[in-house]
Amino acid sequence: MNRGGKITARRPVNLWLIAIKVIAISVIAEIAIMLFFLYIPHPNLGNIGMAITDGLLLGLLILPTFYYLLIQPVRRQTIIEQEDRLLLHDNLTGLPCGPLFHEVINHEIHEAIRDLSRISLIVIDPQGISDINQEMGFQVGDDVLVHIAKAIQGVCRDSDMIASLNESSVARLNGDRFAILAAHTDMAGSKVVEKKIRQAADTPFEVGGVTINIISTTGIAIYPDHADNAEELLRCANAALETAKQEQLSSVTYKEARSSAASRRIEISSRIRQAIASNRFTLFYQPKVSLETNRVCAVEALIRWLGEDGLSPAEFIPIAESQGLIGKITTWVIKEAVEQCKLWESDGIKINIAVNISARDLHDSQLIELFVDTCREHKLDPSSITIEVTESSVMAHPELAIERLQVLRDAGFRISLDDFGTGYSSLSYLKNIPAHELKLDQSFVANICSDSRDERLARGVIDLAHDLKLSIVAEGVETEDVMLMLKEMNCEIVQGYFYSRPLDAASFKTWYKQRHND
């Protein structure tokens, strides 16, 4: 990685080495031709004929060598570099993303350790992009994002800035968020940088003759005050951003966000305990449809906390995990799902129910016994239950996870690897995970009809699953075009709003019978 934080290219093709090889092979070929003429006389050939024949034979021997040693490696190197750029840069804005930006941050952290300096990370979220997409179309939304990216880069090129910034300091994160890394910048300096960036992003501009007004929110985190690695620094900056959005502020630093976030976690954990005690949770079920038969073959059980005091799973599940409450919730979910599966089976609806378990659940020595005993109690075949585990939860402690999943599989349960492709698992572990199916994450599915990179990634995962003798389930299918493309890719099962949103048990039963005319 160079001083500017860019990842260095792969080792280039060694043209000198190739030239030496070509020369050596040419010499050997010429010697072989000389021996050919020596031992196989050609009395009818004069000197000119011999020279022409020698040149033709030499060309026939050298040209394939030249192609395979020089042209093909250079072409392969070019393709690899193009693929690397597609994977490491956002194809809309051209900005770094994902692993590349992590390396940029880690590089600057190493520099800061050497220089005893600070680094500021600013995450900016332009509000209203989703409304623009819905009202004016995705093309206009993309144009707005490109404009904002250029506006932020323009600030980073400003030589009057008090911070150390350049264009490689800007990245696009998931969704509509951008991140700006300011080296040699303390808390006071970060606020100056943040203000300039937010003003640039919020300056009104025209797209297609329409004036666009954006209001942005930012979150700031500082190294080493708040975090000492890239992942934690990003988490802190995003946490500060979420606090700013909740409290309707233009910007919040992580230091200011911590007390508010801590109070919120304490409040939610108390409410979770009350919800568990008073049985306030319920299960909704989202259908999974076989693309071969167009019939519902399974459902995914999704926990919901309804009512005025209810919260979304995205908010209360992480807190339940951190406070050690997820085990009680998982126990309730397993028992409720098994009981419901048996009730539907008795009513003529024989389908599989998928249950999600967390990394902490996998560490629970009672998990296997809980699944087996609950199915035995309700006289339900274990094959009627699929256990969904995320890629990241398995990779937290892969040996233990693989061992316990193998026991569950041997007991008859189906195993599904959820959110595949969003983590950093090793293929050497993947081949050992005792799964029956992979679930293709919706982040790869949503844009496969409009984004060639997403289309290639989805096709690659599906082919990989089939090579490993696994079935594939694609989630987040919201349009017929996406469904048809997945069918063309030989994806077996899909789920998403194109078929149905998650339904409570009674509504699902009605929907199922109407769909299948039962």
Q: Is the predicted pLDDT of residue 386 greater than 90, yes or no?
A: yes
Asked whether residue 47 falls in the same domain as residue 165, the answer is: no
pLDDT at 3: 34
Task: Give yes or no: residues 308 and 445 share one domain.
Answer: yes
Residue 370 CA from chain centroid, whole number:
31
Spatial CB neighbours of 75, under 8 Å, sequence gap ≥ 6: none
Reported as a single tens digit per residue, the pLDDT across 26-65 is 666 656 655 555 555 555 555 555 555 555 555 565 666 6
Rounded-to-integer distance, Cα 68 and Cα 452, Å: 30
Which of 27, 61, 88 is the C-terminal boundary of a domain?
Answer: 88
Residue 433 CB partners (closer than 8 Å, separation 6+): 394, 401, 402, 405, 415, 417
Most confident of 126-130, 220-224, 286-290, 444-448: 286-290
pLDDT of 128 reads 81
- Residue 8: predicted pLDDT: 42
Rounded to an integer, the average pLDDT of 106-134 is 85
pLDDT score recorded for residue 443: 81
Say if residues 214 and 148 touch (Cβ distance below 8 Å). yes
More confident residue, 425 or 158: 158
Residue range 175-201: mean pLDDT, rounded: 86
Residue 471, phi then psi, degrees to nearest 5: -80, 165
User: Which H/E stretch holds residue 267?
Assistant: helix 254-277
**CATH of residue 141:** 3.30.70.270
**In this model, does residue 450 exceed pLDDT 90?**
no
Q: Which of 213, 336, 219 is nearest to 283 (CA)?
A: 336
pLDDT for 173 equals 84
Q: Is 506 exposed, middle or buried (0-12, 13-18, 19+ CB in 10 A)?
A: exposed
**DSSP E strands, 349-401:** 352-357, 385-390
Q: What is the pLDDT of residue 161?
A: 46
9 assigned to some structural domain = no
* Chain-centroid distance, C-alpha 315: 20
Q: Say which amino acid occupies 335.
A: K
User: What pairs with residue 355 in β-bridges?
Assistant: 387
In a domain, 7, yes or no: no
- Looking at the structure, tell me whether residues 223 and 83 fall in a common domain: no
Both tokens of residue 488? 């063309």
Query: Are 491 and 501 in contact, with CB atoms under 8 Å apart?
Result: no
C-alpha closest to that of 105 among 174, 192, 182:
182
Q: What is the mean pLDDT of the chain?
A: 81
Q: Which residues pair with 281 in a beta bridge?
A: 305
- Which residues, 6 or more positions from 69, have their beta carbon under 8 angstroms from its beta carbon? 18, 21, 22, 25
Q: Is residue 271 part of a domain?
A: no
Q: Are residues 83 and 112 part of one domain?
A: no
Convert the pLDDT of each residue in 73-84 to its tens digit: 666 665 555 545
In 3D, which of 267, 344, 282, 346 has the Cα closest to residue 313?
A: 282
Predicted pLDDT of residue 106? 86
% residues pLDDT > 70 (the chain): 77
On whether both 330 and 369 belong to a single domain, the answer is yes
pLDDT: which is higher, 383 or 83: 383
Does residue 163 have a pLDDT over 50? no
Do 344 and 489 lie in one domain? The reply is yes
Of 369, 304, 301, 371, nearest to 335 (Cα)? Answer: 371
Give the list of residues 6+ apart from residue 374 with CB closer than 8 angstroms, or none. 334, 335, 338
CA of 285: how far to CAs of 450, 465, 516, in Å?
29, 25, 17
Last residue of a domain, one of 69, 88, 107: 88
240 within 8 A of 220, measured Cβ to Cβ: yes
How many structural domains does the chain have? 3
**Residues 238 and 112 grouped into a single domain:** yes
Residue 3 lies in a domain: no
The CATH number that applies at residue 394 is 3.20.20.450
- Taking the alpha carbons at both ends of the chain, their separation in whole angstroms is 63
293 plus 409 within the same structural domain: yes
Residues 76 and 144 in one domain: no
The length of the chain is 518
Q: Give the CA radius of gyration of the chain.
A: 30
- Are residue 83 and residue 108 in the same domain, yes or no? no
How far apart CA 438 and CA 422 sit, in angstroms, is 12
Highest mean pLDDT among 37-51, 312-326, 434-448, 470-484: 470-484
Q: Is the pLDDT of residue 356 over 90?
A: yes
Position 478 pLDDT exceeds 70: yes
Residue 138's contacts (CB-CB under 8 Å, 6 or more residues apart) are: 450
Report the relative pairing of strands 178-183 and 119-127 from DSSP bridges: antiparallel
- pLDDT at residue 397, rounded to an integer: 76
Q: Which residue has the higher pLDDT, 85 or 456?
A: 456
Q: Which residue has the higher pLDDT, 89 or 5?
A: 89
Domain holding 41, by residue range, is 15-88
pLDDT in tens, 325-341: 889 999 999 999 999 99
Q: What integer pLDDT is reported at residue 160 of this predicted model?
A: 45
Residue 1 is predicted with a pLDDT of: 39
CA-to-CA distance for 316 and 264, rounded, in angstroms?
11
- Both 291 and 332 in a single domain? yes
Q: What is the pTM of this model?
A: 0.54
Q: 373 in a domain, yes or no?
A: yes
Instruction: Please compute the mean of the pLDDT values over residues 374-401 and round it to a whole number.
Output: 88
Per-residue pLDDT at 441 exceeds 90: no
Is residue 340 in a domain?
yes
Please indicate, yes or no, if residue 246 is contained in any of the structural domains: yes
CA distance 52 to 46: 10
pLDDT given at position 246: 78
> Has residue 93 been placed in a domain?
no
- Judgement on whether residues 147 and 84 belong to the same structural domain of the protein: no
- CA–CA distance, 128 with 132 (Å, rounded to integer): 6
| Last residue of one domain, picked from the residues 35, 61, 88 | 88
